[in-house]
Each structure stands twice: as structure tokens, then as C-alpha cells.
Amino acid sequence: MERICAALEPQFPCRETVITTLSELIGDCNEGYPPAIYIYGHSGTGKTSLTKAFLQQCEQQQKVCTAQLNAVECYTTKILLENVLDALAQKEQQLGASPLRADNMLEFVEQLRRWHGSSARGFLIAIDNAERLRDMDANVLPVLLRLQQLTSLNLCVLLLSQLPFEKYYNKTGLSEVISLHLPQYNKAEALRILSSDFEQMRHQMLQQQQLTGDGPRLALCEQALTQEFYSNYLNLFLSVFYKACRDVPELRLTARKCFAIYMQPVLDGSVECTDVSRLWRHIAGPLRSALTQIYMRIEKPLGEPNIEDQSVRKLAQSLELPYYGKFLLIAAFLASHNSPKQDKRLFVKQHGKQRKRMQTVNARAKNAEKMSTTLGPKSFSIDRLLAIFYAILEEKVGLTCNLLSQISTLVHLKLLSFVSGEQNIMDGSAKLQCTVGLEFVIYIGKVVGFNVRQYLCDFM
């Protein structure tokens, strides 16, 4: 038990309490295990890796059979059960033995009961993404929670998930389970974890400089890259990022990316490595732009501003729709974001004069913040789409099958989507929705020379 703790604590800094608790519960296979342990915490708190390392240590140091699996992979109960059996049997049986079969829970439990006289003193089963177990057959979760009692083996089931256990109770009740929470790291802990890869970072930078073969820069780099310098950088980094993201893998990834930019002025010789304020001025811009890219995992050089705006424009440019297809998309957007009541005023040429009444003005003032572009698209019928299409198009084209097939192509490209009546498109009861945003449509409007804002009720 102490050996497991000693092996794991350097590997997982700031998790000493959890490792101690876990090893108190399932550290010694000669003692009775609890029937089930539920480990939960946010993503990136080290549930999976900690459990994995723990089980590996247990397997190496003691006579324990372990099984680790992911509930997402098991879309039927049979796969789940056979995966568990296979993983447990790997150490137990010699190679070449036929894989164990278990069609249902009863056979699974009976297979496990056969291992009573075996040399293994304990069995540990870890199931990741355990929230999926609720969607499987109704008996899976209740049986897993009392598998120890059913098999009378020294067995413990570890369930890992991001939800608290309150979300698991079913209508027939569950047996008791030990819950273990992995809290998110605070700022100091995150700093400690991130600074642990200083050696690797330094090694990487030096190697990079060696490859370029620049002597003075290498010397400068060797001199400047100290532990203090790196933790200074991480302090700056976390002051920007910690508000938005506490996911350690994501922070580590971005910190490595930005460190090269941070080092740049030092290597050029323009800034002293002790001058933190000037270094901050250099790095502040790239860090902020990197903050907008977090979780996107795009391999791109940093420093290009307005990445989001760029991407919409780029997407609209890269989407090469035919001319009428573009008008159809605009018509669909107008149909989604204008109410049918306004159609006559917007698209019919001689609609007569609209009397301005106090009532409508008041109503508008009240709903000022409820712009239809922010409320989301409403549904429309294909007839209305075609009517608006013909109204906004200058020339009059024939209603050919090419035109109609473009509607279905837009649906296939997920620019439009069906809301209802997917089965009866032809009888006119099908309802569509436009799924693209305002900017995208405005850009497409610019390409074909059509002012979209002019036809939107919100902007009048």
C-alpha cells in the first residue's frame, strides 16, 4: 500500500489525498475491498490516468487481476461483459485459451465465480465514462454495484464519470457506493503541475537552437532558461488563461505553444531575461489571441488577429454554391428570421401604404431586445421559400427540377435542416429551418450583390 503511494505520488503531484484514500480502500489485496467506488470530477482532473496507473501498480506489486474499459465502446451489454472477462482472464489464464463467453449477466457472474480457487487475491474493474451505464440494460448498473456480493470474490468496481452520483439513482434503488471527488486544481497547483515539465521544455529549446547552429543564441538560451524564468512565464500565462480554462492538458498544450514566442525577444537579444515588464508587453498580444483559440486544436502560427471573423469569411468563400443556390440560401435565411406577417410588406411591390399605429410602435419598443436573429431561426414551408426566392431575384427563372434539387442539396450540406414532416415533402407540409448565421449570409449577399439587411425586419 505504501509502495503504491510512493510510486504514484511523484507521477501525480497535488493528488496526495486522493491517492492515500484510494490506497486505503483498495491498496491491499489481502484485505476486503469495498464493493464499488465512484470517482468523479471535471474533465482534465486526472481520473482516468490516476486510476490506470493505480491499477497497473496493483497488478505489478500484488496478485490482482485488473480490467479497464470505456463504457462508450460497449454499445451492448455483451461487449461490456466479455471485455471485462477477457481483461481479467489475461493474467489468470495462459495464452491460447479460448475467449470466455458471456451472453448475459447470469453467465458473466457464473464465469467470475469459477475463479474462486485461483491464485489471484483481488479483482479490480475500472469503467470509464460510467454515465453511459445508465443507458444500457436496466440491470447493468445495479449488478455492477453489487458484483462483489454476487460473485463472492474480493472484487471492486471503480466507476469514473464527470457527474455526481445523484444522477444515477433509478426507480428501483441502488446499493451503497463510496464516492470520491477529484477537485479541480487551484492556481498554485496548476502552476506546480505546469512547471513540472521545465526540464523537457529546456531540453527541447536547446535542441532546437543546436539544430539551427547559431552559437551565440545557444549560449543566451542556456543562460536565460532557468526554473525561475520559466515559472515567471507560467505566472504571466496563468494570469491570462486561468479565468477561462482550468483544464490542465489544454493549459499545458497552449503554454508550450506560446513559450516559443515568449523566448523570441530574449534570443534576439532585444530584451534582458530579467525584464519581466517588457517581456509581458511582448507576450500579451499573442496570449490574448491564443485565448480565443483554446480548445480548437488548430495547428497554425499564432499572432493572426480576428481569427473568428476570418474563419466565417473563409468558410463563406470556400463554399462554392451556384448562383441560384446562394439566392435560395438567402431566401431561406429571410424566411427563417422574418415573420410571415411581414412578407407582404417586404416582398410585394404594390402592398399599399402601411399605417403607423401607436400599438405597433409600442409593441416594437417592448420587444426591442428580442431580435429574431438572436432568438434563433423559425420554421418555414418550401412554398414560402420559393415565393421569397422569386421575390428577391431580379430575373424570373423557370421552376425547374434543377432549382428544386438545389434545395435538397442545401439540406444535405446541413445549411438547411428539416424541422418536421420529413416524410411528406411533396405535399407541402414539410417545415425547414435555416441553420447559417447572419454574418455568413451577409457575406454571401455581398458576393451576389444583394443587401440582406435591407430585407430583415430587425434592421428596419
Partner 1 sequence: TRLAEGTPRRSIQLSNIVEQRIFKDNEIISTPKRSRSKLTDEAADADYVPKMSSQKTPTRPRRMSTTGTAKQPTATKLKESAPLTPSQKLKKIRAGELSPSLEQRHQLVDERHKSQLQLAREQLHVSVVPKSLPCREKEFDNIYSFLEGKIQDQCGGCMYVSGVPGTGKTATVTGVIRTLQRLVAQDELPAFDFLEINGMRLTEPRQAYVQIYKQLTGKTVSWEHAHTLLEKRFTTAAPRRVTTVLLVDELDILCNRRQDVVYNLLDWPTKSAARLVVVTIANTMDLPERLLMGKVTSRLGLTRLTFQPYTHKQLQEIVTARLAGSEAFKGEAVQLVARKVAAVSGDARRALDICRRATEIADSVESQPGGAAKCVTMLHVQQALAEMIASAKVQAIKNCSRLEQIFLQAVAAEVTRTGVEETTFMGVYTQIETIAAFMGVALPAPGRALHLCSKLGAERLIISEHSRHDLYQKILLNVSADDIHYALRVEGN
Q: Which is nearer to partner 1, 168 or 229 (CB)?
A: 168
What's the closest the beta carbon of residue 162 comes to partner 1, in angstroms? 13
Residue 169 within binding range of partner 1, rule CB under 8 A: yes
| Binder of partner 1 out of 96, 99, 119, 166 (CB under 8 A) | 166
Residue 170 within binding range of partner 1, rule CB under 8 A: yes
Q: Which is nearer to partner 1, 140 or 194 (CB)?
A: 140
| Binder of partner 1 out of 30, 94, 119, 172 (CB under 8 A) | 172
Q: Which is nearer to partner 1, 171 or 412 (CB)?
A: 171
Cα(399)–Cα(403) distance, rounded to whole angstroms?
Answer: 6
Q: Which is nearer to partner 1, 134 or 192 (CB)?
A: 134
Residue 171 within binding range of partner 1, rule CB under 8 A: yes
As beta bridge partners, residue 36 has 157
Q: Which is nearer to partner 1, 168 or 455 (CB)?
A: 168
- Ranges within 350-409 binding partner 1 (CB under 8 A): none
Q: Which is nearer to partner 1, 170 or 317 (CB)?
A: 170
Residue 164 within binding range of partner 1, rule CB under 8 A: yes
Q: Which is nearer to partner 1, 138 or 244 (CB)?
A: 138
The site map against partner 1 for 124-163 (x = CB under 8 A) is ----------x-----------------------------
Query: CB under 8 A: which stretch of 169-177, 210-218, 358-366, 387-395 binds partner 1?
Result: 169-177
What's the closest the beta carbon of residue 446 comes to partner 1, in angstroms? 45
Binding site for partner 1 (CB under 8 A): 134, 164-174
